[in-house]
Homo-oligomer: A and B are copies of this chain.
Amino acid sequence: MDKKISEKVINRLTLYHCILTDYIEQHIEYISSKQLAVLLKIDDSQVRKDISVLNNPGKSNVGYIVKELKSSIEKTLGFSKNKKAFIIGAGNLGMALAKYDNFQNYGLNILALFDNDKEKIGKVINNKMILDISKLPNLSRKTNVDIAILTVPRKYAQIMADYLVKANIKYIWNFTPTVLDVPENVQVWNENIMGNFLQFTYNI
């Protein structure tokens, strides 16, 4: 990837990708920037601008070629770069994420879940084993996993973050409603679900 693409553009490109996936299922071959714009309720000049960051977006006289536009988005955003991750916490949210087959299409390969609940350890969810959390440091070293998806209850979030940092995890995708205190060299993405809800409902 040569060009720096802004977060907002990445976000919209993944939404176009969702639409294109639907179109392919419906055997529709072409799509216009106008059609994408209408579905997302944005301006079609914005759509064209976003698509201009892609290489070979598949432009033809009758619109973009759905398959080519889709594959161009995948190449640009690095869907094919395989990223390995662990899920920390095998509760409902951890389970939901483990079952989410869509991740694989985006290059996210979840190797295992971790928990400290003896009843859960050893079970298999969508081909992924639930392992004892004490096995994480060893396993992350062996498998070179450096992404952790944190879905533990709020009160264990910081303790678990400290544990992950010690185990050399470098990226924490944080689904807990906690702001984690981590060293400079560790990156956290806060999946701030309530923040999103409040943005959404601010004017209701």
Residues of chain A having any CB pair with chain B under 8 Å: 1, 5, 7, 10-11, 13-15, 18-19, 22, 39-41, 77-79, 81, 83, 91-93, 95-96, 99, 102-103, 106, 108, 146-147, 154, 158, 171, 173, 177-179, 181, 184, 187, 189-202, 204
* Set of chain B residues within 8 Å of A146, measured between Cβ atoms: 204
Given contacts A18-B179, A193-B191, are A201 and B147 in contact (CB under 8 A)?
Answer: yes
Given contacts A22-B178, A83-B204, are A198 and B15 in contact (CB under 8 A)?
Answer: no
Could you tell me if A14 and B195 are in contact, using CB atoms closer than 8 angstroms? yes
Task: Apart from A14-B198, A78-B201, A92-B99, list 17 A-B contacts with CB within 8 A.
Answer: A10-B198, A10-B199, A11-B195, A19-B179, A77-B202, A78-B198, A92-B92, A93-B96, A106-B198, A108-B194, A108-B197, A108-B201, A147-B201, A147-B204, A187-B200, A189-B196, A189-B199
Question: How far in angstroms is the closest Cβ of chain B from A2?
Answer: 13
Could you tell me if B202 and A10 are in contact, using CB atoms closer than 8 angstroms? yes
Question: How far in angstroms is the closest Cβ of chain B from A85?
Answer: 9
* Set of chain B residues within 8 Å of A187, measured between Cβ atoms: 200
